[in-house]
Amino acid sequence: KDVKNLIISVLFLEMTMAGVFLSLDVILFYLFWELSLVPMLYIIGAWGSDRRIYAAIKFFLYTFAGSVLMLVGILYMGYLYYQTTGVWSFSIPDWQLLVLPFNLQLLLFGAFFLAFAIKVPMFPFHTWLPYAHGQAPTIGSVILAAILLKMGTYAFIRFSLPLFPDASTYFMYPIAVLAIIMIIYTAMVAYAQEDVKQVVAYSSVSHMGVIVLGTFALNVEGITGSIFLMIAHGVVSGALFLLVGV
């Protein structure tokens, strides 16, 4: 029903996702990051299954709450850049020239990390995903699994590693432990599911764990491998949801 509205929502969602991956201005990035929630909320809430309203609101609140802290981090980074150079700039290449003290890096890394970890979604922030996937219509599940989840891992490589290198090294082991828990625990949970959509959803979290692990291995093989896996998972997971939906 309402195919026209669904197509408008999907096209709007595509526009916001393209914006997230293309913007080199952090404010623009944040704007698209938040805008991508709106059509997804509508797609799950209007065309989903029985518990769709619960799933949509949980998805929205989780991701929105995480992003608020990122906004604080973004504004503070802009302020730091202004203090250092006397010019306001929210351009990522400009920010990469800043050398931040270690304790500041830890705090800012934490602010950005929470938003990205909820989006990925990393254990223990992953509980919105099975609901969103299980209740969304097929087209929503496909886009969510194939591209929306990659926004988090892309942001790790785009922001966390180049902007806060010392903090990334410092948090390397705790994040690796979380990623390993993600890989094993959610794979076990996937085994126990009776709904095939839930199986694919939990196995998605498991695969994203491998991607996070590769990113925070902090070497060339790990990062190129995780980027390759992002694309591979986008194709495979999207295809699985299509198959289940059809």
Token reading at 147: 């591209």
Amino acid 138: pLDDT: 85
Q: For the whole model, what pTM was predicted?
A: 0.87
The dihedral built from the CA positions of residue 194, 200, 205 and 209, taken in this order, carries a sign that is positive
Low-confidence stretches of the chain (pLDDT < 70) are: none
User: Is residue 116 a contact partner of residue 154, using CB atoms and an 8 Å limit?
Assistant: no
The pLDDT score that the predictor gives to residue 245 is 82
pLDDT tens string 147-179: 888 888 898 888 888 888 888 888 889 999 989
User: How far is Cα 51 from Cα 29, in angstroms, rounded to an integer?
Assistant: 31
- Beta-bridge mates of residue 25: 91
* Cis before 137? omega within 30: no
Percentage of the chain modeled with pLDDT above 70: 100
